[in-house]
Amino acid sequence: MSYLRATRVASRVRFLSTKQSTSSIQEIDKYNDLPPNSRVFSMIQPTGRIHLGNYLGAVKSWRTLSNTNPDSEFIFGIADLHAFTTLKPATELKENRYQAIASLLASGLDVSKCVLYFQSAVPEHSELNWYLTCMTSMGQLNRMTQWKSKAQQSQTSSITDEKVMESTKAGLFCYPALQNADILLYRSTHVPVGDDQSQHLELCRNIAKLFNNTYGVDYFPLPKTLLTPAKKILSLKNPEKKMSKSDPVQASCVYVTDSPEQIQSKIKKATTDSIQGAWNYDPVSRPGISNLINIISGLTNESIDNTVANLHHLKDHKSLKDYVADLIVNEFDDKRQLYDELLQNKDYLEQVCKQGRDKAREMASVNIGEIKTIIGMD
C-alpha cells in the first residue's frame, strides 16, 4: 500500500473516532467521573466481524472513554489467546484477528488515544497467567459461570463430575486466570465490562488481594468495574439468548458490515409480539420489543425511560422496526465502508498492530520484571 493511501486510511479512522454526539458524553456519568491518571483495560475476542451486541456492549463505550478522558491511559486488545479455547483452522483464526482489528478501527477507536494490540504478541500475558493460575483455587474457577455456558453445561454443573471433567478443556476452565493476568499485567485501575463479566472482575480483585497479602506489598490496584451503559443485546429471532455470531440463524445477528438492505431485512423479520397500544419495556412479557428498545437506547444514548417516552409517535410494529433499522443503517454506514477499505490494506493493519504491541510490551516488560522480583523469580 502506498504511503499516500495509508495516510488517507489513517485520516478516515481518526475522523470517525471523533464523530460522536456530545449527548453521549453527558449520559455516561460514571465515565465522566473517571479519576485522572486512571488506566483502563479491556479486550474483545476475535470472532471476526463485530456485531451490534459487541458494538453497543463494548466498542462504543471504549471509544467514549478514550475520547473523553485525556488524562488517563487506555489499553484495548484482541483476546486471541482466549479465542484458542475453541479450536479453529489456522486460516480462520488469522482472518478473524484482522477482521476484529479492522472492526475496532472502523468503529472509531483512535490509536493516538489508546493502545490497540494482539494479546498473543505480548508474551508477558502468558507468563503472568502461570503465576496467577498457581494462586487460584479450583473451587474459585469452578464457581465461575461462563465456562459452564461455553462448555454447554448447566449452571449447576461441577468440574468434579466425571462427565463434565472429560468434556471440558482445561484452557476453558482456567481462562479466568488468564483474564486476571491480562488486567493485572498493566496494573489496570478500571475495566469496562458487561453484566456477564462482573463475576470475573470480582475474582480478579480477590487474586490481586491474595498476591498483595502473600508478598506483603501493595503492588496490584484492585480494578474497579465500569459497567457499560448499554443493556445486553439479544438475538433478533430468539430474544431469550444473546446475539451471537455462532447462532445458526444468521438473521438473528446484525453486523457492522451489513448492507442497508441486509439490516432492514433482518430487523423486519425480528421477533416481536402481537400486543397493540402503547410501547412498554418489559423483558419478561415483551422480550422482542424490549430488545428493540435496548438497541434504540444504546444507539441514541438515551435512558430506557426516555427511549420509551420518545416512541409515542410510532403507531405499530412496522413503524418501530423501520425506525430501528434506520438508526442502525445511519450508525454503521460510514463504518462499513471504512471496514472494507481497511481489510484491503493489511499493511496498515500490520502497522497499527506493531505500534500497539510495542507500546503494550513497554509497559508489560517493566511490570513483569517488578512482579518477578517480588515473587523471587528475578
pTM to 2 decimal places: 0.84
| 278-322 pLDDT, tens digit each | 899 999 999 999 999 999 999 998 999 999 999 989 999 999 999
Q: Give the domain extent around 158.
A: 39-232+346-375
269 is catalytic: no
- 292: in domain: yes
Collect all residues with Cβ–Cβ distance below 8 Å to 199 and sequence separation of at least 6. Answer: 144, 145, 146
CATH of residue 186: 3.40.50.620
Report which of 40, 298, 52 is spatially closest to residue 193, judged by C-alpha positions. 40
Edge to edge, what strands does the sheet with 224-227 contain?
115-118, 73-78, 39-44, 190-193, 224-227
**In a shared domain, residues 218 and 260:** no
Tell me, yes or no, whether 333 and 214 share the same domain: no
Is 276 part of a structural domain of the chain? yes
189: in domain: yes
| Contact between 67 and 28 (Cβ < 8 Å) | no
Residue 218 and residue 257 in one domain:
no
151 — pLDDT class (breaks 50, 70, 90): low
Q: Which position among 242, 321, 335, 359 bears the catalytic label?
A: 242
Instruction: Give the helix ranges, DSSP H, for 28-70.
Output: 29-32, 52-54, 60-68
Q: Is residue 242 in some structural domain?
A: no
Find the CATH number of the domain harbouring 289: 1.10.240.10
Catalytic position from the list 150, 232, 346, 372: 150
Residue for grid cell 463475576: 199
Q: What burial class does residue 172 get, using C-beta atoms within 10 Å of its C-beta: 0-12 exposed, 13-18 middle, 19+ buried?
A: middle
Angle at 248 between CA 195 and CA 320, to 5 degrees: 65
Average pLDDT, the chain: 86
- Rounded Cα gap, residues 11 and 41, in angstroms: 25
The whole-number average pLDDT for the span 106-121 is 94
- Give the pLDDT of residue 165: 74
The predicted structure's pLDDT at residue 219: 98
Query: Half-sphere exposure of residue 104, counting CA atoms within 13 Å on the CB side?
Result: 34
What's the full length of the chain, in residues? 378
pLDDT score at 148: 65
Residue 33 domain-assigned (yes or no): no
Q: Is residue 4 very low, low, confident or very high in pLDDT (cuts 50, 70, 90)?
A: very low
Cα–Cα distances in angstroms (integers) from residue 243 to residues 46, 124, 192, 232, 248, in the given order = 16, 32, 19, 8, 11
Indicate if 215 and 261 belong to the same structural domain.
Answer: no
Are 50 and 181 members of one domain? yes
227 shares its domain with 363? yes
Tens digits of per-residue pLDDT, 229-255? 777 899 999 998 888 887 788 889 999
Examine the domain organization and report whether 209 and 292 are in the same domain.
no
Domain assignment of residue 322, yes or no: yes
Same domain for 357 and 331: no
How many helices (H) and strands (E) in the chain?
18, 5
Residues 149 and 90 in one domain: yes
Instruction: Give me the residue label for grid cell 480462520.
Output: 92
Q: Are residues 257 and 108 in the same domain?
A: no
Query: Catalytic: which of 232, 245, 346, 372?
Result: 245
Does 242 qualify as catalytic in the annotation? yes
263 and 144, same structural domain?
Answer: no
195 lies in the same domain as 173: yes
Provide the pLDDT for residue 22: 34
Give the number of domains in the chain: 2
